[in-house]
Structure 1
Amino acid sequence: MTRKLRCSAIALGVAVALTLAGCGGSDEPSSASAGGSGLEKTTIKVGALPIPDPVALYVANEKGYFKEEGLTVQPVTITGGAAALPQIESGALDISQTNYVSTFAAVSQGKKIKLVADMYQAGPNTFNLMVPKDSPIQTVADLKGKTILVNNLNNVATLATLTQLKVAGLTEDDVKFVEKPFPDMGNALLSGQADACWITEPFITANQSQHGFRKLADTMTGQTADLPIAGWMATEDWAQKYPKTLAAFQRAIAKAQQLVSSDRKEIEAMLPKYTKIDAKTASVITLGTFPSELNANRLQKVADLMLEYGYLKSPIDVKSIIAAPAANG
């Protein structure tokens, strides 16, 4: 079902995108309509992971929202952030899904990236620490000296887990993080390779139903409650070179984002079409939220957490990374 999802899938993002766009004009024909007149580029390639996060991209395509803007969007399946950044830098992709931790880390290293739309925000029980049903581990404090599986080191998984360890009086030095793809975590725990895992949907539901795994902690509480997870990025040069094309993308994705955030059935119907998630699983998995605009104050929370836990050496002003909102048609 979902066994082929790569380990980097959620590190990149888990989200459904929306823009900073002036979404108010999305119900009216834009000046870029009528066959794409006015757009600097009418066909773009957009990188996305085969997970729930970028569902709005596929909804926008199927509903004709991009077409209404004179834009042809070609989704390209990516395997993770490590591949996506070079692809947008080389021009192989115009826009790509990314997670905010990876993005801010890249910006701190001098990468010229712009966030162009929001995608996905964590909700209750969307990123949990889990243990086998017969594990003696009962609380986060019991993880002292234990091994925790994460899909990526020094990213969303470890950052979120560290906030929970802090509440329990532990630090990073008290545990061992080991990288493992989400689809492999269940068997790894059952075979004794680790003691706990940080995992997301649809793997939370799969391991609960197949192995009886139980939740040790919801890692999106306290400091990480409602944590922004993923969005859409482009290079600074691309955003400057194709402003009308970007605005058209923003308006269409915003319209789709608003739809999926208000009608879960749209998500459930779309997931089996571009992921390995079947219809039955799609109907029961726990999902976060799909914001319709990039909010600098909300995203600043991620950068500030990264600074607090040593993922950044100096502060980042998130406002400087956000692309200008799409103009109303």
Structure 2
Amino acid sequence: MNQAPTHTRQVRIMVTKKTRGAVALVVAAALSSLAACGGDGDTVVEENADGTTSITVATVASDSGSQAFYADSLGFFEDQGLEVTVKVVANVPDLAAAVESGDAQFALTSPTSVASASTAGINFRIVAGGAIYTVDNPGVWIMVPAGQDGITSVDDLEGKSIAVNALNTMPHLSTLATLDDAGVDVDSINSVTLDFTQVGQAFESNQVDAATVTAPFNYQIESDGIGTTMLSPYDAVNNGEDFYNTIWFGEQGFIDSNPEVVDTFRAAIAETNAWANDPANEDERKAILQEVTSLTDATMEDMQLLLFDDEVSPEMIQPLMDLMERFEVLPQPVDAASIIAGTD
């Protein structure tokens, strides 16, 4: 999923099957530790004196995380009787931490994060839809530096360094799937973890040979003339069929204790999605997104905005679980229905 601007130290990791398994165990251990010191998921949210209900939601400052900003700005939360504080975090792990600690009741993330938490014994559940992949609007791209010699196809990435936002995220796993499908030895790839905001600088300094970048950062790189797009790795996830790139989730105890809050939140997100997907609202949507992300006018002008969806079905989630199983990043398989609220 997309990440907001942040500054972290570059880490270089050679990806092998042994490394992938070790990373999965580390992630599971970290999530288990988080569960041990988490907040009270069974807390019942009380109505305010004016009849509204106050909650906090956590998201990232990007196109895929923008539903909360639209709902807040345009009054869709208010329409449902919700008084919402939108908490913006810099890193994907902070989203899970916000919900587990009780700092947020709902957060946006990738379905893969919910699956990882589930295998670590954390009862996160998907409550509402986020951004979806479609073959015409994938939202994630493999890019190479402008003027790069010798890399014109996926086959040319054999033995190269590729930047991803983090190991075992959808950008990373889908890139491995794309390479593997093309016959490239994925164990030859040197995966370099970089924030999406750092890819342009890495291209300019010849640190990496390619990068997998999500919208809107790919548009910024292209508008700056730093990199060019090859293809979308998400095409390899579900044979070009739609799936959820991001979803909204909460903790099972909170969901069970506050069904009306869940229903009103879902209704607000559905209202938001209908507005955001309407082409007539593109200019206003871009204006709100630009205020949050501070992207340049040139970037916003060229950007293809992501699509959102309401209905969360196992069929739209399971391909991501299958991809995680393919690259052995989960200790056991995950049935998508088991991590969707109301379907397990």
The TM-score with structure 1 as length reference comes to 0.83
Aligned residue in 1 for 2:171: 157
Larger RCO (CA under 8 A, 6+ residues apart):
1
Question: Is structure 2 residue 316 aligned with structure 1 residue 267?
Answer: no
2:220 equivalent among 206, 224, 239: 206
Identity %: 27
Task: Kindly indicate whether the alpha-carbon contact (under 8 Å) linking 1:88 and 1:235 is maintained by their aligned counterparts in 2.
Answer: yes
Q: Judging changes above 3 Å, is the alpha-carbon distance between structure 1 residues 217 and 125 closer, same or farther for their aligned structure 2 residues?
A: same
8 Å contact from structure 1 (residues 130, 198) kept in 2: yes
Trace 1:169-188 onto structure 2 (pairs within 5 A). 169-188=183-202
Q: Which residue of 1 aligns with 2:51?
A: 36
Higher mean C-alpha deviation, range 134-143 or range 279-288: 279-288
- Structure 1 equivalent of residue 152 of structure 2: 138
Distance 1:7 1:148, change over 3 A: farther
Q: Shift in Å at residue 125 of structure 1?
A: 5.1
Work out the CA distance in 1 between the residues paired with 2:229 and 2:77.
40
Of residues 239, 264, 267, the one that matches 1:251 is: 267
Change (3 A) 1:321 1:3: closer
Provide the rounded CA distance (Å) in 1 between the counterparts of 2:107 and 2:64: 12
Supply the distance in 2 between the matched residues of 1:182 and 1:99 (Cα, whole angstroms).
16
The separation in 2 between residues aligned to 1:82 and 1:160, in whole angstroms, is 19
Question: How do 1:72-83 residues align onto structure 2 when only pairs under 5 Å count?
Answer: 72-83=83-94
2:334 corresponds to which residue?
316
Conserved? CA contact 2:108–2:247, under 8 Å: yes
What corresponds to 1:99 in structure 2? 110
User: 2:173 matched to 1:189?
Assistant: no
Displacement, 1:4? 6.4
* 2:100 pairs with one of 82, 86, 89: 89
1:112 aligns with 2:123: yes
CA contact 1:271–1:279 (8 Å) conserved in 2 = no
Preserved CA contact (<8 Å) 2:223 2:298: no
**Structure 1 unaligned regions, length at least 5:** 9-31
Report the AA paired with residue 179 of structure 2: L
Distance in structure 1 (CA, Å) of the matches to 2:266 and 2:72: 13
2:321 pairs with 1:306: no
Q: Which amino acid aligns with 1:174?
A: S
Would you say 1:68 and 2:79 are equivalent positions?
yes
Aligned-residue Cα RMSD (Å) equals 2.5
In the aligned structure 1, how far is the partner of 2:7 from the partner of 2:246?
Answer: 16
Give the match for residue 129 of structure 1. 142
Unmatched 5+ stretches in structure 2: 9-46
- Within 5 Å, give how 1:216-231 maps onto structure 2: 216-224=230-238, 225=240, 226-231=242-247
The Cα offsets for residues 252-271 of structure 1, whole Å up to 9 and x where unpaired, read as 11111111112333421320
| Inter-partner Cα distance in structure 1 for 2:219 and 2:78 | 36
- Give me the whole-angstrom Cα distance separating, in 1, the residues matched to 2:207 and 2:225: 16
Displacement of 1:7: 7.5
Q: Structure 2 counterpart of 1:84, which letter?
A: L
Higher mean C-alpha displacement, 267-276 vs 298-307:
267-276
Counterpart CA distance in 2 for 1:110 and 1:174 is 33
> Residues 3 and 158 from structure 1, CA distance in 2 versus in 1: closer, same or farther, beyond 3 angstroms?
closer
Q: Deviations over 1:14-69 (max 9, x none)?
A: xxxxxxxxxxxxxxxxxx9x9537xxxx1001101111113222222222222222
Relative to 1, partners in 2 of residues 1:249 and 1:279: Cα closer, same or farther, differing over 3 Å?
Answer: farther
